[in-house]
Chain A
Amino acid sequence: MSYQEEFRNALSIESLKQDLLRTAYDNEGTIFNRLDPRVLLTWYAAFLVIPWLFYDMRILGGLLTFVSVLAVVSRVSKYLIALLAFGVITNVLLYAFVTVLMGGSFVQSAMALVPYTTKLTIISVTSIAVFSGMSPKNISRAFMSIGIPRQFTFAISYGYRMLPVLIEEYHETVNVYRLRSRAPESPGRFKWRYYVYLIRLSIRAFYPMIFDVAKRSRVTVEALETRGFSHSLENDKSRELQLGDLRVGQFDVLFMGGSLIVIVGIILPFV
């Protein structure tokens, strides 16, 4: 494997990592983050239901366009969208292909699957747009406001802070293991020896990670308890304090009204 190629690989992993981290963290100023989280959750719940009410592909296509525009506006990772699109297309094609093997018709089965897949895609795009456009702080406040246990909402904000640290640490551990070990002399056919080597490396790199994370979790719980975490779980006042500054403002009303008008505009011409 040439140096150049290796460098390109590292580059792409690096850019992938950045793309994903941007998805998780760069949500300042997106529309969804400016909305009141409870309003957004209501809007999301409505969108879980609406696509199931229609069979007309023109309406479904319109809805898909609408949520796609929202996804673009809220700066969703291109990588995630590409993965989703690839999955959707191959899903229909593969089912249709196997149907042919079973003695059925390709077009007929693809046609039967398309509306269902479109509906699922609308919902997936909505989910990606909403949950990557919202900051984790707002996500956990949204869940807290509908009465989901604090342990769960805490896990979200904890993961939010830990994810970059953990990924960075793991990446470094893998690199250390690579420095200390020797890549296989000959990569073999399809470079299989090289890939086996990489996989073994990434598995073994978890061993030191486990001890690091163990220590970190202990410190976290100790710090939490020093600040009275378990005590605050049963205390209504702390909940009120965390949710106190949520307000439904003009922007929320405008957003809900605007969405309603757009959806009616999509549906009415075809009813």
Chain B
Amino acid sequence: MSEMATENTSWFSFGQRDMTVFIFVMSLSGLQYAITEVLPEFDVGPLELGVGDFIFIPIVLVLLFRTFWAALAVPMGEVVFEDILLGDFNGLGVMEDLLLVSTCFFFAALLFQDPKNRRQLAAVVLIAEGLNEFIAMFVDIGKVYIGVEELEAVPGLPESILVLEGVDFITQMVITGIIFGVIPALYLYPKLHGKIEPLMGMEPYNGTRGASMLRGFSWKAALSVLIAFPLAFGFAAAEESGFGLNIVWEPEFLDAYGETFIAAPIIVAALVAVVLWQRAKHST
């Protein structure tokens, strides 16, 4: 069923081997997220200083196995181990991670053509982390724009959000991308290459000696990143601005329609709750 899962044609086939790889990558990335959650770190507002994620673990594993399922297992590890078990779950917001991390890592893994080329390895790790952080930065900025009413009316506030997100992107790239990304990956990848794949019943990826990264550029994978971006933004915005209710429900709107109108959303929310409840009852 899944011979060489590196073939483009078998992106979404899910054999037993994929299941093993999925559980493997999920456990390790989850462990990594759980540990870095415990390690001291300063979240000064949007800035994360200190030990970030040990991103080299998931990225090296995805580069070794090169399947979409391996890439999807990375955010799943985060959701299960860090969010659900440790109680840091944020509803629809997890869809943002699921979509962005998996597509960005998979896209980067396909670019990796020559396992012996250390420069290419470093570049791919940076692309995976950079692409993910870069898109996440735009999602974050957009969320605040949607969530904070009259943002433009406060002088200096929109600029300060842009500045802080930009600084955060740079510190993330240096700390997570280089110190905990590229450097350990350069040490770990050669050590694991050819050893761990046979344990999983897979052929090691040999690639082509001296092949350029452009050969691995896949339009399908690039497109999936491009599609994941607006979707992730949609989910994040739904989570962090109450499904757009926040915009409709601005104070001017209230002045125009009277404050008794406030009962309407409560009734709507109650109705949605009842419908959900009924559906849940029926589905058993």
Contacts and interface: CB of A to CB of B under 8 A. Distances in A.
Interface of A: 13, 16-17, 20, 23-24, 38-39, 41-46, 48-55, 76-77, 80, 83, 86-87, 90-96, 98-105, 108-109, 112-113, 115-116, 119-120, 123-124, 127-128, 130-132, 136, 139, 145-147, 151-152, 155-156, 158-160, 162-163, 166-167, 170, 199, 202-203, 206-207, 209-211, 213-218, 220-221, 224-225, 230, 240, 243-244, 246, 248, 260, 267, 271
B262 A218 contact: no
B283 interface: yes
Contact of A146 (B91, B260, B283): B283
A105 B187 CA distance: 49
B31 A207 contact: no
Contact of A159 (B54, B84, B147): B84
A16 B87 contact: no
B69 to A, nearest CB: 10
A16 B38 contact: yes
B249 A112 contact: no
A146 to B, nearest CB: 7
Interface string B220-245: 00000000000000000001111101
A104 B80 contact: no
B28 A48 contact: no
A155 B26 contact: yes
B44 A94 contact: yes
B148 A112 contact: yes
B284 A160 contact: no
A112 B46 contact: no
B27 A53 contact: no
Task: Give the one of B92, B196, B276 with max A CB within 10 A.
Answer: B276
26 contacts: A20-B86, A24-B85, A24-B86, A42-B280, A44-B91, A45-B273, A49-B272, A52-B243, A53-B266, A80-B87, A80-B88, A94-B47, A95-B160, A95-B161, A99-B154, A99-B155, A100-B156, A102-B157, A123-B239, A146-B280, A156-B84, A210-B57, A214-B200, A217-B200, A243-B284, A267-B266
B192 A53 contact: no
Nearest to A89: B45
Contacts of A116: 144, 147-149
Ranked 7 nearest A-B pairs via Cβ: A104-B156, A52-B242, A132-B87, A94-B45, A98-B160, A102-B156, A38-B280
Given A155-B80, A217-B23, A218-B199, A203 B56 contact: yes
B209 interface: no
Contacts of A86: 43
A218 B20 contact: yes
Contact of B90 (A95, A127, A158): A127
Contacts of A90: 43-45
B269 interface: yes
B99 interface: no
B19 interface: yes
A155 B160 contact: no
A249 B153 CA distance: 50
Given A45-B272, A145-B284, A163-B81, A83 B51 contact: no
Contacts of A124: 90
B12 interface: no
A55 B90 contact: no
Contacts of B163: 98, 102
A173 B169 CA distance: 33
A6 to B, nearest CB: 16
A207 to B, nearest CB: 7
A211 B32 CA distance: 15
Contacts of B61: 210
A145 B280 CA distance: 6
B20 A217 contact: yes
Contact of B45 (A95, A170, A202, A240): A95
Contacts of A105: 154-156
A120 B140 CA distance: 13
Contacts of B16: 221, 225, 230
Contacts of A100: 156
Interface in B162-214: 163-164, 180, 184, 187-188, 191-192, 196, 199-201
Contact of A99 (B57, B157, B199): B157
A101 to B, nearest CB: 7
B30 interface: yes
Nearest to B17: A221
B35 interface: yes
B199 to A, nearest CB: 5
B7 interface: no
B128 interface: no
Contacts of B71: none
B157 A147 contact: no
A242 to B, nearest CB: 10
B196 A210 contact: yes
Contact of B31 (A119, A139, A166, A244): A166
